[in-house]
Amino acid sequence: MPTGKVKWYDAEKGFGFLSQEDGEDVYVRSSALPAGVEGLKAGQKVEFGMAAGRRGPQALSVKLIDPPPTVSKPRRESVGPVNHKHTTDELHGMIEDMITLLDGTVQTELRKGRYPDRKIARKVSEVVRAVAAELDA
């Protein structure tokens, strides 16, 4: 079976094109996708059976080789108790401080039609990231 990558695929229209590793592009319809697969992502590696169609090669069946590329960080699986850096009371205080900081400095500047000073913005973003990291742990 030939292999290639998804060049593009439009799930709404139900078709797209695959690029072969050595050859011309291959037309693919949604009916050629495996059961339960709604669409394909550009760059996704696939294996496919094909036949000659009226306008060129056409995929008859598609098998996914690699998961689609992603730009998001993989989430860790829950494998037991998590060790948080802060207690729930400390985190509650951090969130209250963050809200006060956002409301008192950032919102005030934004209401005036300007962004906060770079030094303040950097400090605020550090606090927001710390809270987010603790919640995501």
**Per-residue tokens: 65:** 């080789």
pLDDT of residue 58: 93
Residue 59: beta bridge partners?
50
Q: Where are the alpha helices (DSSP H) in 9-106?
A: 88-101
Pairing of strands 15-20, 26-29: antiparallel
Q: Is the pLDDT of residue 29 over 90?
A: yes
Angle between helices 118-136 and 88-101 (to 10 degrees): 150
Q: What is the pLDDT of residues 60-73, one digit of tens each?
A: 999 998 765 555 65
101-124 average pLDDT score? 89
Helices (H) and strands (E) in the chain — how many of each? 3, 5
| Neighbouring C-beta atoms of residue 61, cutoff 10 Å | 14
Specify the pLDDT at position 76. Answer: 58
The pair phi, psi for residue 105, each rounded to 5°, is -110, -55
Fold of 3-64: OB fold (Dihydrolipoamide Acetyltransferase, E2P) (2.40.50)
pLDDT, position 73: 59
pLDDT in tens, 11-23: 899 999 999 877 8
Mean pLDDT of the chain: 85
Dist CA 24 CA 18 (whole Å) = 9
Other beta carbons within 10 Å of 4? 24
pLDDT in tens, 41-91: 888 899 999 898 888 899 999 999 876 555 565 565 555 566 778 788 888
